[in-house]
Amino acid sequence: MSTKFIDGNVAMAEAAVAAGCRLFAGFPITPQSPMPEYLSGRLPEVGGSFIQAESEVVSANILLGASYGGLRCMTSTSGPGFSLMAEGISFIIGCEAPCVFIDVARPGPGMGGIGGCSQDYLYAVKGLGAGGGRAFVISPSTIQEAVHIVYESFDIADRYRTPVVVLTDKLLAATTEVVELPPLRALSELPDKSSWLITKRDSMKFEDKRICQSMLLPVSSQEEFCIKLADKYKQWEEKETRYEEFMLEDAEVVLFAYGSVGRIVREAVRQLRKEGVKAGLFRPVTLFPFPRKQIGSLHYERIKKAICVEMAIPGQMLEDVERSVKGRIEVDFYGRGGGMLVTPEEVVCHVKQQMEGSGD
């Protein structure tokens, strides 16, 4: 381990290199541009390759080819660029090509701004391209957690042959902190992919060909593949769901938040506790699979208030929280949009207003 004082973009880039990433293909877009800028110099130092593609559309498709060539590979982008990658991501899901996408979200819709936000949730979690395919989506709250998550994301991608989306925002990517970076992985120790990689064809027999394709014929084969994906997503829910509970043991007010907002809400919980309010935080870390069972098993007989906090208007994770609660309690919402930041003081004020309004 090495300790450095660096910003989130560079920390995530270095974590990817340490995990064995040896190809990056991407395109500059604020606020993630420091990540490819850093990797353009760092990857050649470890025998890797950096490609500035013509566009984000091309970036995603380069990952498909690189993955089938056996490389651990990734791209990073922000909201509008992430949208352009939809077709490529859909093909990647259909071809089961492991790779990592880091989205440093920016406000939208459209071009939006460059502030902190939670406005890519619906796209990343529910709408990655045609056909209903899903990616593994995970969201860190701190730079140190982002380092661990990016480092592990390549293992998750290889384990399940899936794209992994690390969903972040400007608050995390542009903040500078002291972090511990993991050591470089030995490439010889990475998972064996020889059973599915594109290789030299040594015979003319049809059954010996190995191709990368997302269209399967006859139709029954395509259905079998959809069933296979559904089973994979069920495995994620059973084995890979991650979340954080903070001061929930006796909480009467439960706040739901993810990513950078989770860090903000954690501080709000501390302030509320000092003022005698029994508040707690439930922070989903994996957004798909979403910790719906864990949210559903909270002690609703004790909970008086449930509030979802996001830097998005209207709420996006709110829908999944409401589904997980299953009507046991009404879920209130507090959000800021367009790049306006949520602050701990605002959350504290909102909680107190809600409690006063209900007579608690």
Structure confidence by residue, pLDDT tens digits, 173-185: 999 999 999 999 9
Query: Is 183 exposed, middle or buried, given 0-12, 13-18 or 19+ CB atoms closer than 10 A?
Result: exposed
Q: Which residue has the higher pLDDT, 140 or 202?
A: 140
Q: Which of 36-45, 101-110, 158-167 has the lowest mean pLDDT?
A: 101-110
Q: Kindly state the helix (H) or strand (E) to which residue 45 belongs, with its residue range.
A: helix 34-45
Indicate the SS3 state at residue 104.
strand
CA atoms lying within 13 Å on the CB side of residue 196: 16
Picking from 127, 125, 153, the residue whose alpha carbon sits closest to that of residue 310 is 125
Long-range contacts of the stretch 51-54 (C-beta < 8 A, 24+): 51/23, 51/24, 51/25, 51/26, 52/25, 52/26, 52/27, 52/28, 53/25, 53/26, 53/27, 54/27
Annotate 260-303 with DSSP letters as a single string.
HHHHHHHHHHHHHHHTT--EEEEEESEEES--HHHHHTS-TTT-
Share of the chain above pLDDT 70, in %: 96
Domain match, 159 and 299 both: no
- On whether residue 301 sits in a domain, the answer given is yes
Domain match, 170 and 265 both: no
Q: Kindly state the helix (H) or strand (E) to which residue 180 belongs, with its residue range.
A: strand 176-181
Q: The domain spanning residue 36 has which CATH number?
A: 3.40.50.970
Q: What DSSP state is assigned to residue 182?
A: P
Indicate the SS3 state at residue 56.
helix
Structural domains in the chain (count): 2
Residue 171 vs residues 109, 265, 347: alpha-carbon distances, Å: 19, 14, 17
Question: For residues 50-70, b (16+ Cβ closer than 10 Å) or e, as one string?
Answer: bbebeebebbbbbbbebbbeb
Model confidence at 217, pLDDT cuts 50, 70, 90, reads confident
Domain match, 173 and 293 both: no
Q: Which of 202-206, 239-243, 279-283, 352-356 has the lowest mean pLDDT?
A: 202-206
**What digits encode the pLDDT tens for the residues 59-99?**
999 999 999 999 999 999 999 999 999 999 999 999 999 99
Q: From 170, 189, 208, give the residue that closes a domain.
A: 189
Domain match, 73 and 160 both: yes
- On whether residue 150 sits in a domain, the answer given is yes
Domain match, 130 and 247 both: no
Query: Rounded CA gap, 14 and 340, in Å?
Result: 29
Q: Which two tokens stand for residue 309?
A: 């906090």
Domain match, 14 and 92 both: yes
pTM above 0.85, yes or no: yes
Domain match, 262 and 122 both: no
- On whether residue 197 sits in a domain, the answer given is no
Domain match, 185 and 249 both: no
- On whether residue 291 sits in a domain, the answer given is yes
In the predicted structure, residue 357 carries a pLDDT above the cut 80:
no
Name the average pLDDT for the chain: 94
**What digits encode the pLDDT tens for the residues 297-328?**
999 999 999 999 999 999 999 999 999 999 99
Query: Rounded CA gap, 316 and 62, in Å?
Result: 30
Residue 89 in contact with residue 163, Cβ under 8 Å?
yes
The domain containing residue 284 runs over which residues? 243-358
Domain match, 73 and 183 both: yes
Q: The domain spanning residue 265 has which CATH number?
A: 3.40.50.920
**What digits encode the pLDDT tens for the residues 2-55?**
899 999 999 999 999 999 999 999 999 999 999 999 999 999 999 999 999 999
- On whether residue 224 sits in a domain, the answer given is no
Summarize the confidence of residues 124-131 as an average pLDDT: 91
In the predicted structure, residue 200 carries a pLDDT above the cut 70:
no
Domain match, 170 and 270 both: no
- On whether residue 215 sits in a domain, the answer given is no
Res 211: pLDDT: 77
